[in-house]
């Protein structure tokens, strides 16, 4: 007979004292009077200075996790969230904190990572560079159709009347692949995105079109992608779960007629069991299969499968920081008789490589994803850049000593790896190549700190700039400049 799990206690009048790396707030609590020292309790959606009642959800030896059951005294920092779905959809977990406070905590994440993980000598870390837009900053949003609308316990207990259809077009509930929260308004993208999404939802319901059943894998309407570029160009891509040409043409024509400002109207017929369209044919129903972003006169073509930083205006600020750290700023950078050779590792679609190419003798970009490299080459051609070379493949297999011997030893390396950071073999080749300057762009300060520790014997950190790409979340981008030691 299985043992019954012991009910975890509810604790009262607990003071929230700070914010942790993953965006949860923290309190320090003695669970029993006999405890020698308090343990850390992680609490989502709390603010430093709150006095709260909490219910423990998980208890480990050195920490616990809990949720708020009542806010006894709200923190003076606490503000009303902008979004009605705050706390339910799982995104924007810091809406209840003033933006200025969010920037402080993001900088502290970088400080903690470099001090506690890297344990290396670092200069004073700059204040977090704020996003140009606090709201409506995302150029890309992805939504899921579902024939079963997820309803919270608060909804169910409220006694409110709901329509019988139960259809939803919105976001997955965190940790639940089959639960979709219907969204009427999302503050992260231009309101045009809401207009398009709500029109598609209403039109499909009025015309009896089936929404996808995620568990049983059937239904017509599956996913929706909306891109609104900083240039004003708009992409809509609808993914369908069955090849019903009549229904597809009907809804695509309705969207085209209602929103003539859509510049790229696309669709995908995806009969697989997963939602990814990376291996699917994208069909251009109206307009070209791409839209364009623009920076300093450079144009970057973005298609339905392309990666592009989702905060267009802040991507420009991020790349300017990387360019300045590399000493390639066209206004303040040093004049050179011979321009430098630049390697751009994890180049993606070549945005940074093409962005700095006019200040370099040559830029060599390396990226694992072949489709991204095809985009990088295309963007170089579109902008008339003839001093870029791009290679696709595993970084540790391509970036070898013989590759560097063949292409030249770089003066500058810019690296922008995925969240997992760099492979140790890649770090060894970088150190053997011995560029004078490395600019390390990271979306994960913890793995960045680990890699910096591995390079510390050869490179000294000279500048650190956190950049906020995602207001109201705990995520922070960080740019570090390293110089070769004497």
What single DSSP character describes residue 276?
-
How, if at all, do strands 264-269 and 234-240 pair?
A: parallel
Please report the beta strands in 298-346, taking only residues with DSSP state E, as ranges in sequence order. Answer: 298-303, 341-345
Active-site residue (options: 83, 186, 237, 443): 443
User: Which residues, 6 or more positions from 180, have their beta carbon under 8 angstroms from its beta carbon?
Assistant: 144, 145, 146, 148, 149, 150, 168, 169, 170, 171, 172, 173, 214
Are the C-beta atoms of residues 220 and 240 closer than 8 Å to each other?
A: yes
Structure tokens at 317: 């600020």
How, if at all, do strands 39-43 and 51-59 pair?
A: unpaired
Q: How far is CA 197 from CA 141, 224, 255, in A?
A: 10, 8, 10
How, if at all, do strands 283-286 and 264-269 pair?
A: antiparallel
Structure tokens at 399: 């970036």
Active site (annotated) includes residue 443: yes
Helix (H) or strand (E) holding 318: helix 312-325
What single DSSP character describes residue 129?
B
Structure tokens at 406: 């063949």
- SS3 of 104, please? helix
User: Which residues, 6 or more positions from 50, have their beta carbon under 8 angstroms from its beta carbon?
Assistant: 15, 16, 25, 68, 71, 73, 74, 75, 78
How, if at all, do strands 412-415 and 437-442 pair?
A: parallel
Are the C-beta atoms of residues 122 and 114 closer than 8 Å to each other?
A: yes
- Helix H, strand E, coil C: the string for 4-67 is CCCCCCEEEEEECCEECCCCCEEEEECCCCCCCCCEEEEECCCCCCCEEEEEEEEECCCEEEEE
User: Which residues, 6 or more positions from 211, have their beta carbon under 8 angstroms from its beta carbon?
Assistant: 145, 146, 147, 167, 168, 169, 204, 219, 220, 221
Structure tokens at 403: 């590759």
Structure tokens at 150: 């997820």
Are the C-beta atoms of residues 390 and 365 closer than 8 Å to each other?
A: yes
What whole-number distance in Å separates Cα of residue 239 and Cα of residue 251? 12
Residues designated catalytic: 443
């Amino acid at each position: 007979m299985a043992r019954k799990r012991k009910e975890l206690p509810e604790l009262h009048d607990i003071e929230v004292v700070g914010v942790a790396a993953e965006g949860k707030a923290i309190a320090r609590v003695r669970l029993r009077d006999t405890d020698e020292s308090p343990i850390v309790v992680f609490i989502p959606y709390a603010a430093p200075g709150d006095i709260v009642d909490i219910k423990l959800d998980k208890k480990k030896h050195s920490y616990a996790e809990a949720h708020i059951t009542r806010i006894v005294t709200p923190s003076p920092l606490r503000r009303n969230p902008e979004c009605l779905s705050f706390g339910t959809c799982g995104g924007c977990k810091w809406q209840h904190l003033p933006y200025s406070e969010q920037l402080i905590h993001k900088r502290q994440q970088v400080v903690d990572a470099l001090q506690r993980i890297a344990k290396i000598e670092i200069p004073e870390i700059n204040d977090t560079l704020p996003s140009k837009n606090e709201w409506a900053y995302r150029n890309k949003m992805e939504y899921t159709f579902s024939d079963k609308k997820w309803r919270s316990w608060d909804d169910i207990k409220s006694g409110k009347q709901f329509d019988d259809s139960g259809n939803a077009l919105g976001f997955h509930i965190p940790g639940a692949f089959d639960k979709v929260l219907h969204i009427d308004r999302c503050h992260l993208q231009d309101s045009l995105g809401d207009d398009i999404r709500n029109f598609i939802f209403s039109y499909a319901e009025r015309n009896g079109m089936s929404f996808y059943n995620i568990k049983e894998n059937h239904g017509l309407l599956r996913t929706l992608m909306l891109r609104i570029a900083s240039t004003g160009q708009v992409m809509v891509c609808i993914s369908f779960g069955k090849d019903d040409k009549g229904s597809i043409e009907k809804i695509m024509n309705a969207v085209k007629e209602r929103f003539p400002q859509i510049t790229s109207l696309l669709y995908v017929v995806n009969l697989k069991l997963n939602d990814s369209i990376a291996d699917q044919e994208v069909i251009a129903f109206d307009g070209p299969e791409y839209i364009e972003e623009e920076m300093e006169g450079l144009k970057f073509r973005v298609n339905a499968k392309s990666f592009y930083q989702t905060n267009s205006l802040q991507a420009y600020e991020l790349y300017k920081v990387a360019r300045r750290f590399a000493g390639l700023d066209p206004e303040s950078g040093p004049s050179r008789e011979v321009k430098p050779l630049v390697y751009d590792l994890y180049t993606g679609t070549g945005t940074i490589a093409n962005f700095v190419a006019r200040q370099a003798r040559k830029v060599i970009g390396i990226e694992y994803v072949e489709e991204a490299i095809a985009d990088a080459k295309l963007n170089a051609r579109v902008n008339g850049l003839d001093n870029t070379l791009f290679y696709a493949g595993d970084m540790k297999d391509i970036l070898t000593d013989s590759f560097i011997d063949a292409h030249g030893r770089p003066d500058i390396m810019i690296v922008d790896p995925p969240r997992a950071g760099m492979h140790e073999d890649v770090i060894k080749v970088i150190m053997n190549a011995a560029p004078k300057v490395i600019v390390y762009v990271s979306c994960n300060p913890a793995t960045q700190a680990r890699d910096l520790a591995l390079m510390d014997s050869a490179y000294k950190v000279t500048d650190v700039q956190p950049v906020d790409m995602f207001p109201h979340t705990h995520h922070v981008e960080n740019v570090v400049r390293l110089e070769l030691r004497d």
